[in-house]
């Protein structure tokens, strides 16, 4: 078991963040056939042609060589700084990683999963290896993930909104509720069934909490320096993303409310803002706002302010109506 010892300063400095590059890294693992539970078939079929083209590049083959099971080099997906993290921020962090740190992590990957391809090994020995890998990751991002990122980001943002609310309502134990193998216990955060068994002091720097759409079984942990300590965990609501088109639009509810309003009501199982809903459902914000106003007047939703955003949630009546259609 891995345990993070948490002080009052750590609680003050812990925060949520998003990592575009971590999502890409996990998607690439899945497209290569690892882990066993990969992308849903519809997504895999859609992305397969672009992935096959990318896989011809020795640099992408080198990325795959650095993907041993249950381990990954942190420099390929550095812990993010904030919720505003962008791909450019991530790639800048990859390029800024000291070469000696890059070399250490590459050696550990090859120890766990030996590679005999001479072209891949030659690339991994280059003094600019992290710059070369950053280039192919940027290409992979725009070929595989960029078109879907706003929708995926909206799911992660809604998870943060929910857990931040639970944290304010009932503390850290509530914020971690439902996360696989993670719990708040006796003034610390414990991760069961982790490959590392240790007790780690956070030193007043706090912990990064990073929701992920492609890490839906278990959690990933950044526990070793020089990287900030972080837990990457499955975001709530990911399962709806993988449903086949139309699966989340029951005919009865759609006939009663209209298709778009029915989808919005079902999607609001977790609170969300107009912008988050528009991104998640690929609808115009204005249209979403109009539909929300109708659902609000009908007593199916209520709303409250969270920071600069207005957040909508289902009322008990809205819950009951959504439940009938499930």
Q: Which CATH number fits domain 243-324: 3.30.70.260, 1.10.3720.10, 1.10.10.10, 1.20.120.420?
A: 1.10.10.10
Ordered by start, the domain boundaries in the chain are 2-16+151-238, 20-148, 243-324
* All residues at 6 or more sequence positions from 306 whose CB lies less than 8 Å from its CB, including other chains: 161, 165, 271, 273
| Three-state SS at 43 | helix
Reading the block at residue 76, the tokens are: 């390929």
- What's the pLDDT score for residue 323? 73
- What's the pLDDT score for residue 245? 47
Q: Give the residue ranges of the chain where pLDDT is below 50.
A: 245-249
Burial class (CB in 10 A: 0-12, 13-18, 19+), 264: buried
Of 259, 224, 235, 253, the C-alpha closest to 318 is 253
In terms of residues, how long is the chain? Answer: 326
Q: What is the largest CA-CA distance in the chain?
A: 66
Residues 176-235: pLDDT tens digits? 888 888 989 888 999 987 777 889 999 999 999 999 998 877 889 998 889 999 999 999
Helix (H) or strand (E) holding 185: strand 182-185
């Amino acid at each position: 078991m891995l345990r993070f010892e948490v002080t009052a300063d750590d609680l003050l400095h812990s925060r949520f963040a998003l990592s575009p590059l971590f999502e890409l890294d996990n998607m690439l693992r899945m497209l290569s056939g690892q882990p066993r539970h990969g992308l849903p078939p519809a997504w895999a079929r859609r992305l397969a042609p672009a992935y096959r083209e990318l896989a011809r590049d020795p640099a992408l083959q080198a990325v795959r060589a650095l993907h041993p099971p249950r381990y990954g080099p942190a420099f390929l997906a550095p812990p993010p700084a904030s919720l505003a993290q962008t791909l450019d921020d991530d790639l800048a962090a990859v390029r800024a990683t000291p070469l000696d740190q890059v070399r250490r992590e590459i050696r550990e990957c090859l120890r766990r999963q030996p590679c005999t391809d001479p072209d891949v090994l030659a690339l991994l020995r280059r003094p600019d290896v992290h710059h070369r890998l950053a280039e192919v990751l940027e290409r992979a991002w725009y070929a595989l993930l960029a078109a879907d990122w706003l929708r995926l980001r909206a799911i992660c943002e809604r998870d943060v909104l929910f857990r931040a609310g639970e944290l304010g309502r009932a503390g850290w134990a509530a914020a971690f509720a439902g996360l696989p193998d993670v719990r708040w216990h006796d003034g610390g955060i414990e991760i069961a069934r982790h490959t590392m068994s240790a007790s780690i002091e956070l030193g007043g720097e706090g912990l990064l909490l990073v929701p992920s759409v492609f890490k839906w079984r278990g959690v990933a942990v950044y526990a070793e320096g020089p990287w900030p300590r972080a837990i990457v965990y499955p975001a709530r609501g990911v399962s709806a993303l993988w449903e086949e088109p139309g699966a989340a639009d029951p005919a009865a509810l759609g006939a009663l409310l209209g298709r778009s309003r029915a989808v919005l009501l079902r999607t609001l199982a977790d609170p969300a803002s107009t912008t988050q809903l528009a991104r998640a459902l690929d609808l115009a914000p204005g249209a979403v706002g109009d539909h929300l106003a109708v659902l609000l007047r009908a007593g199916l939703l209520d709303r409250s302010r969270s920071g600069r955003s207005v957040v909508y949630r289902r009322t008990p009546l809205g819950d009951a109506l959504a439940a009938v259609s499930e």
